[in-house]
């Protein structure tokens, strides 16, 4: 069981970080959605288009493809395989969800209140091409569901289903070879959308684009696009230094406001968000201090992190979202472990993407920031308890359940932390991304 779940909403060092309009009410509303995470191992993997915008999230389940499903709350909540609850709003973040399904669920018929526009069926390891499956898929397609065949290079038995598919994934991480090249050429003429999986680097991404793929998945997002730079520009490091300074648990509101005011654009965007209709203020705010006091330091720090990182360069916005989720998961797990250095865990998760963010080796970029040795060592070498937590979080993120463990914590703690983090980060992103 997950220990001390009430501590998820506050930081070590007192209540200053947990304040803000509606914060406690919001977490109360989320608690029912989070309850479902305790008995499941589930993560999501983004699917990108050519502009590197997220167009869908693939659901990855610890117990394999969906063979049983029921629907509640107007199609928003799914119970899959009788034990795992999925909140589509949470796991999908407003995007289409690619749900891996087995032949049995297709043949038995999908629930009538499942929304075809919200769920895309992913056919892979749990599917065959029997007459019963093909007949059921024909009906499923008529109902409006989009169908994607997963990894034809491995599951060649799925070829008879090609005429029913809207998209096909090919694992480009496998050595291309003449067979795969021929398969790609045939698929180009079939009218299906080509989706490249296993994209490990930006070079792989460019090659897949040249081959005609239009959607992409893989670990490339967290990789640098070549070490072309000898050092990170001063403006980029200044933004990261600001994030580091705001993690000081002893900082006063006036100190935080002073740091924010040094960046005119950041100050403007924060005041614009707080003055928006969401907060229904009786009068416009006149200062950063007022914004911090009204919204709460915790929320302001989250906004600053997201705004600062997203403004550093032209990398996909999902990289910032990924960093914020990792940071929050590491922070929650540090609280579960009763650590006194919780802000350090947050920074480890946040800066775990620094190579990809700046296209500079992590050791070089971190050397220019005011970080202690434990934080830098955790990111660069995976050292110490911070490094162990980060390794567990990264394994969970990619669905590597065999390595998603942290000494001293039940495995369900990571699931709970992950769910809470994506809900919080997606909510903040929606509010401030514009």
- 269 is written with which tokens? 């965007």
Contact 352, 323 (CB under 8 A): yes
Report pLDDT for 433.
Answer: 62
Q: Ranked by mean pLDDT, which of 147-156, 203-212, 257-266, 269-278 comes out on top?
A: 203-212
Q: Which CATH number belongs to the domain containing residue 59 in this structure?
A: 3.20.20
Q: Does the structure show a pLDDT above 60 at 294?
A: yes
Do 161 and 120 reside in the same domain of the chain? Answer: yes
Q: Does the structure show a pLDDT above 80 at 297?
A: no
- 376 is written with which tokens? 């830098």
pLDDT confidence tier of residue 57, bands split at 50, 70 and 90: very high
Burial pattern 96-116, b for ≥16 Cβ within 10 A else e, equals bbbbbbbbbbbeeebeeebee
Do 57 and 111 reside in the same domain of the chain? Answer: yes
Q: Does the structure show a pLDDT above 50 at 259?
A: yes
Among 182, 213, 244, where does a domain finish? 213
Distance separating alpha carbons of residues 294 and 168, to the nearest angstrom: 49
Report pLDDT for 82.
Answer: 72
Report pLDDT for 50.
Answer: 95
- Domain-embedded: residue 382: yes
- Domain-embedded: residue 426: yes
Report pLDDT for 338.
Answer: 94
Least confident piece of the model among 219-228, 266-275, 388-397: 266-275
Q: Ranked by mean pLDDT, which of 150-164, 209-223, 257-271 comes out on top?
A: 209-223
Least confident piece of the model among 129-143, 300-314, 412-426: 300-314
Q: Does the structure show a pLDDT above 60 at 235?
A: no
Name the residue range of residue 326's domain. 5-32+228-432
- Domain-embedded: residue 208: yes
User: Which tops the pLDDT comparison, 298 or 176?
Assistant: 298
Q: Ranked by mean pLDDT, which of 107-116, 139-148, 150-159, 166-175 comes out on top?
A: 139-148
Give the mean pLDDT of 15-31. 44
Q: What is the pLDDT of residues 70-101, one digit of tens each?
A: 887 666 778 787 777 788 888 888 899 999 99
Report pLDDT for 227.
Answer: 46
Do 207 and 311 reside in the same domain of the chain? Answer: no
Phi (first) and psi of residue 180, to 5 degrees: -65, -40
- Domain-embedded: residue 218: no
Residues above pLDDT 70, as percent of the chain: 80
Q: Which CATH number belongs to the domain containing residue 311 in this structure?
A: 1.10.3210
Report pLDDT for 369.
Answer: 76
Do 271 and 409 reside in the same domain of the chain? Answer: yes
Give the mean pLDDT of 352-366. 87
Report pLDDT for 265.
Answer: 67
Report pLDDT for 393.
Answer: 97
**Beta strands at 42-48 and 193-197: parallel, antiparallel or unpaired:** unpaired
Among 178, 213, 248, where does a domain finish? 213
- Domain-embedded: residue 408: yes
Report pLDDT for 410.
Answer: 87
Do 189 and 254 reside in the same domain of the chain? Answer: no
Give the mean pLDDT of 104-112. 89
Helices (H) and strands (E) in the chain, counts: 18, 11
Distance separating alpha carbons of residues 85 and 48, to the nearest angstrom: 25
Question: Which residues does residue 193 pair with via DSSP β-bridges, in sequence order?
Answer: 167
Do 351 and 426 reside in the same domain of the chain? Answer: yes
Report pLDDT for 337.
Answer: 95
Report pLDDT for 326.
Answer: 95
Q: Does the structure show a pLDDT above 90 at 181?
A: no
- Domain-embedded: residue 347: yes
Least confident piece of the model among 17-21, 74-78, 133-137: 17-21
- Domain-embedded: residue 242: yes
Please tell me the total count of domains within the chain: 2
- 97 is written with which tokens? 């969800």
pLDDT confidence tier of residue 389, bands split at 50, 70 and 90: very high
Is the CA virtual torsion 397, 424, 330, 310 positive or negative?
A: positive
Do 304 and 411 reside in the same domain of the chain? Answer: yes
Do 233 and 321 reside in the same domain of the chain? Answer: yes
The angle, 0 to 180 degrees and rounded to 10, between the axes of the packed helices 384-397 and 373-381 is 40
Is the CA virtual torsion 22, 28, 31, 32 positive or negative?
A: negative
Contact 350, 243 (CB under 8 A): yes
Contact 88, 97 (CB under 8 A): yes
Do 406 and 325 reside in the same domain of the chain? Answer: yes
Report pLDDT for 1.
Answer: 31
Q: Does the structure show a pLDDT above 80 at 287?
A: no
Q: What is the CA radius of gyration of the chain?
A: 23
Do 286 and 386 reside in the same domain of the chain? Answer: yes
Distance separating alpha carbons of residues 368 and 361, to the nearest angstrom: 12
Contact 361, 227 (CB under 8 A): yes
The residues, any chain, with a CB within 8 Å of residue 352's CB and separated by 6 or more, are 222, 323, 326, 379, 390, 394
Rounded mean pLDDT of the chain? 80
Do 57 and 85 reside in the same domain of the chain? Answer: yes
- Domain-embedded: residue 220: no
Do 320 and 254 reside in the same domain of the chain? Answer: yes
Among 162, 183, 213, where does a domain finish? 213
Question: Which residues does residue 386 pair with via DSSP β-bridges, in sequence order?
Answer: none
Q: Does the structure show a pLDDT above 60 at 32?
A: no
């Amino acid at each position: 069981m997950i220990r001390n779940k009430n501590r998820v909403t506050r930081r070590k060092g007192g209540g200053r970080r947990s304040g803000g309009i509606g914060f406690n009410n919001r977490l109360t509303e989320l608690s029912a959605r989070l309850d479902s995470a305790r008995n499941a191992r589930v993560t999501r993997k983004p699917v990108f288009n050519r502009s590197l915008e997220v167009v869908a999230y693939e659901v990855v389940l610890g117990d394999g493809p969906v063979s049983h499903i029921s629907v509640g709350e107007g199609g928003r909540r799914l119970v899959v395989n009788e034990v795992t609850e999925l909140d589509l709003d949470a796991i999908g973040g407003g995007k289409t969800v690619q749900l891996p399904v087995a032949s049995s669920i297709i043949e038995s018929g999908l629930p009538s209140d499942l929304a075809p526009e919200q769920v895309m069926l992913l056919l892979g390891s749990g599917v065959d091409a029997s007459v019963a499956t093909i007949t059921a898929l024909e009906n499923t397609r008529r109902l409006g569901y989009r169908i994607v065949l997963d990894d034809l290079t491995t599951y060649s038995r799925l070829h008879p289903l090609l005429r029913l598919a809207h998209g096909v994934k090919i694992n480009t991480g496998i050595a291309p070879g003449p067979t795969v090249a021929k398969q790609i050429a045939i698929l180009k003429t079939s009218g299906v959308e080509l989706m490249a999986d296993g994209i490990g680097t930006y070079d792989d991404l460019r090659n897949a684009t040249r081959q005609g793929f239009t959607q992409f998945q893989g670990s490339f997002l967290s990789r640098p696009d070549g070490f072309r730079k000898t050092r990170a520009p001063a403006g980029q490091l200044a933004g990261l230094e600001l994030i580091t300074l705001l993690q000081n648990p002893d900082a006063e509101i006036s100190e935080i406001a002073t740091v924010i005011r040094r960046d005119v654009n950041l100050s403007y965007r924060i005041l614009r968000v707080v003055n928006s209709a969401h907060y229904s203020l009786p009068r416009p705010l006149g200062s950063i201090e007022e914004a911090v006091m009204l919204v709460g330091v915790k929320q302001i720090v989250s906004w600053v992190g997201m705004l600062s990182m997203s403004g550093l360069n032209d990398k996909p916005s999902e990289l910032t979202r990924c960093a914020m989720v990792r940071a929050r998961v590491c922070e929650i797990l540090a609280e579960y472990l009763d650590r006194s250095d919780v802000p350090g865990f947050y920074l480890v998760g946040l800066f775990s993407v620094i190579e990809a963010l700046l296209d500079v080796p992590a050791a070089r970029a971190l050397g220019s920031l005011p970080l202690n040795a434990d934080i830098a060592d955790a990111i660069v070498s995976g050292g110490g308890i911070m490094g162990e937590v980060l390794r567990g979080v990264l394994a969970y993120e990619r669905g590597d359940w065999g390595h998603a463990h942290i000494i001293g914590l039940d495995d369900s703690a990571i699931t709970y932390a992950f769910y809470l983090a994506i809900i919080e980060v997606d909510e903040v992103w929606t509010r401030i991304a514009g």
